[in-house]
A = this chain, B = another copy of it.
Amino acid sequence: MTVIEKIRKKLQDENLDAYVIAYGNRYIGQDISSNEHKLSKLCGFTGSAGIAVVTKDSAYLLVDGRYELQAKQETEASEIVVVDLLPRLKNVCDLLKPLNVTNIGYDAWCHTVAEMEFIKRHFFDMKFFDAGDWLGANTKETIKIRQRDVAFSGQSSAEKIAVIKNMLKDQQAEYYLFTSADSVSWLMNIYAHDLPYSPVVRAYALVAKDGNTILYGDNLVTELSNGNWQDFTEKMANLGEVKLMYDAHIAPEKIKTMIDDKTKLIKAPDICQMLKAEKNPVEMQGMINCHIRDGVALSKFLCWLDENYRQKTELDVVKKLHSFRAEQKYFWGESFNTIAGFAQNGAVVHYQPNEKTNKVLDEGSLLLLDSGGQYLDGTTDVTRTIALGKPSKEMIRDFTLVLKAHVALASACFPIGTAGVKLDILARNKLWQRGLDYKHGTGHGVACFGNVHEGPISISTNSSDYGFKSNMITSDEPGIYKENEYGIRTENLLYTVESENSGFLKFNILTKVPIDKRLIDKYMLENGEQMWLNNYHQDVYESLAPYMNEKEKMWLKDVCSPL
C-alpha cells in the first residue's frame, strides 16, 4: 500500500473527505531535517516548500515556480499531481472547492492562527478538523544547547529581553510568547547543531513581564529554564486572567485551542524578527569578516576547478567546496544544501545533486553553484555561474543580462523605509527587456549565524511592505533558466548603509568572489555597469589576495583584472 493509499484508508476511518499535509512542523517557516520531511514520505518531493492534499480520488502537491521541474521529476512514480501554485492552504482550498469536499483533516500545529482565520472567513463551506500528523514525525534526539558569546552576538540576552519587558509594560501585558525558532535563538543568544544547515535552537520562549523566560521544546539539554510540550500545554491552559502577546502570523492554531478563555490574546508582530533584521555593529563586522573567509574558500575552489573540472561530477564539486570552507576559522557547516547544477541541471532552480541525478562536468556548458557557510560570526550565501570550456553566444548574452540585473539592484539608492516589493523591478526589468524572467524572488533577508533566509524584508514581486533600514542584509540573485539547457544566477549578499544624501540608503557588498568574465559581453554593458564590475573585482582581489598561495594569487589577479 502506498502512503497515499494509507491516507485514503484513514480518511474513510475518520470520516473525512481530505487530509492536508504541510511541509513543516510546529516551527512554522523553519527548516526541517530530512527525516522530518512529510512531503518526501508522501510522494518523494524533497524541496523545502510545498503543501499537499489527498482526497478520496485525487492528490495534489502545490509548489512554487522554483520547485516545479524538480517536483515533477521527483514525484514521477507517485500518482500525485504537481501544481505550480504558491504552497498556501488558501490555494489548496481553491483546488478543493469544485471537488465537493467538506470535512478536511489537518495538523493544527502546522498552520498559523492568521492563516486559519483567513481560511474560516473565506471558505465557510469547509470544515477543518485537527487530525494531527499522519505521516509520523520522528521522535527527537536530545538537543544540546550552546550559549553564543557576546563577542559574536554584540548584545547580551538580558539586554534583548529588556526590550521585550518594555513592550509588555507598554501593552500592560503579562507574557510575550515567541514561537519562531530563529527569534528564540536570537533572543536567548543560543545555538545548536540539531538541523543540518541552521544553528537555531528549535524551541518556543515564554517571556514574563519580570523578564523570566522559559524555553519549551523536545528534549532540550540546557541550564536555562525549560519544559517539554506537556509542560507547555499545561502552562498555556493555566495562564489565568492575564494578557498574552503573540504573533498570529507565526504562532500555530494549535496554541489558540489550548488557551483558557480567561486569558486575553493580544496580536502583535514578533518584535524579535524586526530587531534582529537590523544588525548591530558587532554582527555587521562579523558578517564582513566571515565573507572574506568564505570568499577565500570559494575562490580557492574556483581556481582548483578551472584546472581540474574534467571527469569530476557535481557531487565531487560539493565535496571539494566543502573541504575549502571547512578549513576556515569559525566554520560551523553549510548554510544550506549546496546547489551544484551542471548544464540542464542548472535550470532546476533549487536543484541539489544526488547519486541518481549526478552529472559529469564537461566542456561547453555552465555550472551553477549556489552555496553558503555558517560561521560563528556570520552567515554567507553566494551563487556563481562558471563557464566550463567555451560558452555559446546565447550563454554569454544571458549571463550578461543577469549581471546587468544584479548590478541594477546592487547600485540602487532609495529613501529609508522603501519596501523590497518596489526594488524588485530594478533587477527584473533588465530581463523583461528581452522577454525573460525568473520564477523566484530577487532577494531575501539573511541572519547573522542563523537562518540563511530570514524576514521581515525581502525583494520580490509579492513581498511585504516592510521597509529597509540601515544595516539590513539582503541577497541580490536574479537568474535565467533555460529548461533542458542551463541555468544562470549571480548572487551576492548586500547590506544597507546610509548614503551621502540624508534620508537615503544604498547597498554595500558583503560577498567577495570573482564573477566569471568569460561569460560577459562587454558591449552589452553600459559604462556604469562596466565600472561597477571593475571596482568590484579590484575590491575582491585586494580583500582575498593576502590569504591565497602564489598560484591562486596569480589566478585571482587574472580573473579580477579590469574588463
Are the CB atoms of B429 and A412 closer together than 8 Å? yes
Render A504-524 as a binary contact track against B, CB cut-off 8 A, 1 for contact.
100000000000000000000
Name the segment of A143-151, A281-289, A420-428 touching the other chain. A420-428
Cβ–Cβ < 8 Å partners of A415 in chain B = 432, 437
Residues 467-483 of A at the B interface (beta carbon under 8 Å) = none
Please judge, given known A-B contacts A413-B435, A435-B503, whether A429 and B426 are in contact too, CB under 8 Å. Answer: yes
| A432 to B436 Cα, complex, angstroms | 27
- Residue in B414, B435, B528 whose CB lies within 8 Å of A432: B414
Q: What is the total number of residues of chain A having a CB less than 8 Å from a CB of chain B?
A: 28
Q: How far is the CB of A390 from chain B (nearest CB, A)?
A: 27
Q: Which residue of B lies closest to A506 (CB)?
A: B433
Q: Which residue of B lies closest to A431 (CB)?
A: B413
Are the CB atoms of A500 and B435 closer together than 8 Å? yes
Q: How far is the CB of A522 from chain B (nearest CB, A)?
A: 12
Residues 484-538 of A at the B interface (beta carbon under 8 Å) = 499-504, 526-528
| A413 to B431 Cα, complex, angstroms | 9
Render A381-415 as a binary contact track against B, CB cut-off 8 A, 1 for contact.
00000000000000000000000000000011111
Residues 66-120 of A at the B interface (beta carbon under 8 Å) = none
Cβ–Cβ < 8 Å partners of A526 in chain B = 526-528
Q: Which residue of B lies closest to A501 (CB)?
A: B435
Residues 417-457 of A at the B interface (beta carbon under 8 Å) = 421-426, 429, 432-437
| A527 to B499 Cα, complex, angstroms | 26
- Residue in B414, B422, B527 whose CB lies within 8 Å of A527: B527
- Residue in B413, B425, B436 whose CB lies within 8 Å of A422: B425
Q: How far is the CB of A205 from chain B (nearest CB, A)?
A: 34
Cβ–Cβ < 8 Å partners of A437 in chain B = 415
Q: How far is the CB of A531 from chain B (nearest CB, A)?
A: 11
Are the CB atoms of B432 and A413 closer together than 8 Å? yes
Q: How far is the CB of A1 from chain B (nearest CB, A)?
A: 44
Render A156-189 as a binary contact track against B, CB cut-off 8 A, 1 for contact.
0000000000000000000000000000000000
Q: How far is the CB of A429 from chain B (nearest CB, A)?
A: 6
| A396 to B52 Cα, complex, angstroms | 59
Q: How far is the CB of A408 from chain B (nearest CB, A)?
A: 9
Q: How far is the CB of A433 from chain B (nearest CB, A)?
A: 5
- Residue in B411, B421, B499 whose CB lies within 8 Å of A435: B499
Cβ–Cβ < 8 Å partners of A423 in chain B = 425
Cβ–Cβ < 8 Å partners of A433 in chain B = 411, 413
Cβ–Cβ < 8 Å partners of A502 in chain B = 435
Cβ–Cβ < 8 Å partners of A528 in chain B = 526
| A135 to B426 Cα, complex, angstroms | 48
| A192 to B425 Cα, complex, angstroms | 42
Q: Which residue of B lies closest to A503 (CB)?
A: B435
Q: How far is the CB of A53 from chain B (nearest CB, A)?
A: 28
| A437 to B426 Cα, complex, angstroms | 17
| A436 to B503 Cα, complex, angstroms | 10
Render A278-304 as a binary contact track against B, CB cut-off 8 A, 1 for contact.
000000000000000000000000000
Most chain B C-beta atoms within 10 Å of own C-beta, residue among A429, A434, A501: A429
Are the CB atoms of B434 and A414 closer together than 8 Å? no
| A248 to B126 Cα, complex, angstroms | 31
Q: How far is the CB of A563 from chain B (nearest CB, A)?
A: 15
| A475 to B324 Cα, complex, angstroms | 54
Cβ–Cβ < 8 Å partners of A527 in chain B = 526-527
Cβ–Cβ < 8 Å partners of A432 in chain B = 412-415, 504
| A415 to B424 Cα, complex, angstroms | 14
| A395 to B412 Cα, complex, angstroms | 23
Q: How far is the CB of A397 from chain B (nearest CB, A)?
A: 14
28 residue pairs of the A-B complex, CB under 8 angstroms, read A411-B433, A412-B429, A412-B432, A413-B429, A413-B432, A413-B433, A413-B434, A413-B435, A414-B425, A414-B429, A414-B432, A415-B437, A421-B422, A422-B422, A422-B425, A422-B461, A423-B425, A425-B426, A426-B426, A426-B429, A432-B504, A435-B500, A435-B503, A435-B504, A436-B501, A526-B527, A526-B528, A527-B527
Known: A412-B429, A422-B425. 14 other contacts (CB 8 A): A413-B429, A413-B432, A413-B434, A414-B425, A415-B432, A421-B422, A422-B461, A423-B425, A425-B425, A426-B426, A432-B504, A526-B526, A526-B527, A527-B527
Q: Which 5 pairs of residues, A with B, have the shortest CB-CB distance?
A: A435-B501, A526-B526, A413-B432, A413-B433, A422-B425
